[in-house]
Chain A
């Protein structure tokens, strides 16, 4: 990792400012160059492969149980690569299928959070004035409410389907995004270019779309990865607490079963470590990419000082 690049992001003398590396086109390439981002991307590819291809190669039949007592809670073996559950089911196959739900809920929740958060941030920052004050008061209120407890309460009240879970997680993740986007938009609207276009009579929506959105896009992207990792964690926690969709098998649900079936006191570590590792790798992959993006894109934003 080249520390010089980092030092340059924070200039201490005018000499260095001139020699700062120019931004590369191709965000993906930049992420690949950064060791943090690269590990994240590799993990991501691995996870996606497991989730998307895995179940095709190793289909999981939720209806097939172990036939005899001997096949319950078996440690990893050649027959069952990751052992069996208390019902004699193959843990490995369950792992392959479980990832899909986690990712799906994570993505839908993030989409909702992004649309809400970025949209509100955009409107709030662009119009400023009373609209900003009102929206920010609302945002501040939601920021204060503790996230997981709120998610739990909403899930308990409104049901456990995937749709509800996604909505509930999405509705609690938007405040952070809104704040970040808003402050960037606020500073952008003071730029001479925007002022000029406004005075020429360009419509608000057009300005937002053509001038502000492209500049805010990198910020949204960096935030998206981090929100996504948070959403996956939230879904896992919900499922573990028994608030996930009871029909679908997700990694959190598997852990819920592992815990509640007494498999832990029997020392069935494979039952716990497999889905758990899956969650960790998926979340870590997204956070690494998110942090890397943040570092790549941030100096550019800060450089506008």
Chain B
């Protein structure tokens, strides 16, 4: 049984008098010890997907269909109290822009302590405090800095503190939403290295949400590409993104465009290509493929029929008419 099973999930937002489907019947799995990356541009629904797992969506959002099963527990429809028991202990979240994700008027060690005592009220003070220092040590923050306030930390340190806090209750799943955005390049590398290390040392499954392909390539075993609320491609990172000596086997034009947009530091000096246009208006009904307007390989059928899910190889699927044509 997979650790996390998302089946046919849809998330709707109520905006003004309109209903907007940010996540449209998406399914994915995360196995124990696996790191899965979700990539896509802003507004593709990846953050909503991530937030819906521990059910942290804003009040104007609702899960309109599908199930989310974590370690056998069905999360959709759970009461707030039951959810609170699972939050942080089974699934923890590391937010993007840790700029403001830590309470500015509380000391860092106090905030981590709170996470521990909230789920284990009977824990002894000394034991808890020792754990706090242990966690900070794990992410490379010296015990002398534990009593600092968040604004006294650099961006990278704050992100690391957030990760330390996330591990406080030994969760099975860590969801990281844009963990490297708003950080300088050196800090980015540090965080990614940390995530990779912790994955193994803490026996953690990771779901990493990012628009940065390079980050996902660094950390994740599998990659899910999202566009305008749906999944357009999924496969192992090695296969979809390629690596040294092995070209990318991505099938969906959007994935290919994303890869083009990321200059390869180690490989050839390719010109980074942007993708013109913007995602479709999700408040209006969509006919055919959502990517049709921007797709360089668009065909007439793309505008009339929704594309099928094509299995290209074991574990590698793409939702595309072109891929369907090629597979035949």
CB distance from A296 to the nearest CB of B (A): 14
Interchain CA distance A13-B17 in the complex, whole Å? 20
Q: Which residues of A contact B283 (CB under 8 A)?
A: 19
Q: Is the CB of A19 within 8 A of B20?
A: yes
**Given A13-B48, A15-B48; A3-B16 close (CB under 8 Å):** no
Check: B288 CB closer than 8 A to any chain A CB.
Answer: no
Check: B315 CB closer than 8 A to any chain A CB.
Answer: no
Q: Which residues of B contact A8 (CB under 8 A)?
A: 15
Check: B22 CB closer than 8 A to any chain A CB.
Answer: yes
Which of under 10, 10 to 19, 20 to 34, or 35 or more describes the interface residues of B?
A: 10 to 19
Interchain CA distance A164-B110 in the complex, whole Å? 58
Q: Which residues of A contact B76 (CB under 8 A)?
A: none
Interchain CA distance A21-B47 in the complex, whole Å? 20
**Smallest CB-CB separation from B20: which chain A residue?**
A19
**Number of residue pairs A-B, CB distance < 8 angstroms:** 46
Check: A2 CB closer than 8 A to any chain B CB.
Answer: yes
Check: A199 CB closer than 8 A to any chain B CB.
Answer: no
Q: Is the CB of B42 within 8 A of A4?
A: no
Interchain CA distance A70-B147 in the complex, whole Å? 80
CB distance from A12 to the nearest CB of B (A): 6
Q: Which residues of B contact A13 (CB under 8 A)?
A: 47-48, 51, 58
Best-surrounded residue of A3, A5, A14 (most CB of chain B within 10 A): A14
Q: Is the CB of B16 within 8 A of A2?
A: yes
CB distance from A203 to the nearest CB of B (A): 39
CB distance from A239 to the nearest CB of B (A): 45
| 26 examples of A-B residue contacts, CB within 8 angstroms | A2-B17, A3-B59, A3-B60, A4-B13, A4-B14, A4-B15, A4-B16, A4-B60, A5-B15, A8-B15, A13-B47, A13-B58, A14-B42, A14-B43, A15-B47, A16-B13, A16-B15, A17-B43, A18-B42, A18-B43, A18-B279, A19-B13, A19-B43, A19-B282, A19-B283, A21-B15
Q: Which residues of B contact A (CB under 8 A)?
A: 13-17, 20, 22, 42-43, 45, 47-48, 51, 58-60, 279, 282-283
Ranked 3 nearest A-B pairs via Cβ? A4-B60, A18-B43, A14-B42
Q: Which residues of A contact B (CB under 8 A)?
A: 2-5, 7-8, 12-19, 21
